[in-house]
Amino acid sequence: MSATRIHVRGDSPYDVVVGTGVLAELTTLLKPGVRTVAVIHPETLPEISGPVGEALRAAGYEVVELPVPDGEQAKSVEVAAGLWSALGRAGVTRSDAVVGVGGGATTDLAGFVAGTWLRGVQVVLVPTTLLAMVDAAVGGKNGIDTPEGKNLVGTFLPPAGVLCELSTLASMPKRDYVAGLAEIIKGGFIADPEILRLVEADPEAATRPDGPHTRELIERKIQVKADVVGADLREAGLREILNYGHTLAHAIEREEHYAIRHGEAVAIGMVYAAELSKLAGRADLVERTRSILTSVGLPTAYRADAWKSLRDHMRLDKKNRGAKQRFVVLDGLAEPGRLEGPSEELLEAAYKEISA
């Protein structure tokens, strides 16, 4: 299968390579002059990180393997500090590189460590989950978590390239794969309705890595994000639309101590954002949102007794300006807008509509 290259524009342009059997493309994404490559990967992922290291060694690079905890546990200042020390011991210089292999948490961490080591070294990301391929690894936003919230400490560092080897999706647990669909569906609501049509035409097929439209869905969502971040790397305006559903989602993740899958939280957050859009007199896409999410097995409701705690979490959302809460809503299908300073009554009324 041939590789697709999706170009991300901007001051530091790069390519996202998508396909099966594309590992050989990895070295084409590294800039000239690299001697040492530090490969950051989950300690539970040797079957994928191993071939990456082998490909780099075969190309003549000195490879330093840096395993980290799996999942969100890796995104801490303690893990980052350990990696900084390891990079120092390995003699990684500004002309060298970091390669991040794994899910979204690992690619976030790898990008953050690369962006802060020596004030920035190049990073190539090899996402191995659906969520990481279509969202976390593309865009140049990198971060770690604090006890106060998710991704509150971070950097903007566009990668030198992203490599999406689709064969890695075959080994994903079904629930994890379906969770990644939430970000794809989000792309349909904010920018590309063809994504929604493809999922609605055959929801069961959309939940399989070998589905007839899997590659197209992945490439379409990557293109959505590439178009947005190429125009607005630092979230000065347009890029905020990618946070559709995320204000409540991040609050739910914190409430669950990050035990819930990100995509499942985003699915609930999108229903909340749709209800908020409707109650604010904007677009009414509530039923379509519930229908498509339910059809692929994603949740659409959350605990009725959690509102006060979730509201406290939402006050730390990165889109806020001072005391003013900001939400991404929809003015129409593929027409995202912003709702600034909504009343507490409106916010709570929308939550009652998604309470289980």
Residue 202 and residue 197: Cα distance in Å, rounded? 9
Other beta carbons less than 10 A from residue 274's beta carbon: 29
Task: State residue 140's pLDDT score.
Answer: 87
Residues in the chain: 356
Residue 243 annotated among the catalytic residues of the structure? yes
Task: State residue 267's pLDDT score.
Answer: 98
Strand 161-165 and strand 122-127: the pairing is parallel
- Exposure class string for 11-42: b at 16+ Cβ within 10 A, else e: eeebbbbbbbebbebbbebbeeebebbbbbbb
Residue 258: pLDDT over 90:
no
- Whether 174-354 and 4-171 are alike in CATH topology: the answer is no
- Exposure class string for 252-267: b at 16+ Cβ within 10 A, else e: bbbbeebebbbbbbbb
Residue 264 annotated among the catalytic residues of the structure? no
pLDDT averaged over the chain?
A: 93
Q: Which residues are annotated as a binding site for Zn(2+)?
A: 183, 246, 262
Confidence of residue 199 (pLDDT cuts 50, 70, 90): very high
What confidence tens digit (pLDDT) does each residue in 138-192 have?
988 899 988 887 788 999 999 999 999 999 999 999 999 999 999 999 999 999 9
Task: State residue 273's pLDDT score.
Answer: 98
What is the homologous superfamily of the domain 174-354 according to CATH?
Dehydroquinate synthase-like - alpha domain (1.20.1090.10)
Residue 288: pLDDT over 90:
yes
What confidence tens digit (pLDDT) does each residue in 321-348 have?
556 788 999 999 999 999 999 999 999 9
Confidence of residue 202 (pLDDT cuts 50, 70, 90): very high
Burial degree of 284 (CB within 10 A; 0-12, 13-18, 19+): middle
- CATH 3.40.50.300 describes domain 4-171: no
Residue 269: pLDDT over 90:
yes
Residue 252: pLDDT over 80:
yes
> Domain residue spans in the chain?
4-171, 174-354
Higher confidence at residue 316 or residue 74?
A: 74
Higher confidence at residue 238 or residue 19?
A: 19
Residue 225 annotated among the catalytic residues of the structure? yes
Residue 232: pLDDT over 80:
no
Q: Which of 243, 254, 275, 326 is catalytic?
A: 243
Interacting residues of 250 by C-beta distance below 8 A, sequence separation 6+:
149, 150, 151, 265, 269, 313, 314, 317
Q: Which of 235, 256, 335, 353 is catalytic?
A: 235
Residue 320: pLDDT over 70:
no
Structure tokens at 149: 């919230």
Residue 79: pLDDT over 70:
yes
Residue 90: pLDDT over 80:
yes
What confidence tens digit (pLDDT) does each residue in 107-151 have?
999 999 999 999 999 999 999 999 999 998 998 889 998 888 778
Q: Which residues are annotated as a binding site for NAD(+)?
A: 70-75, 104-108, 128-129, 141, 150
* Range in 72-86, 146-160, 195-209 with the lowest mean pLDDT: 146-160
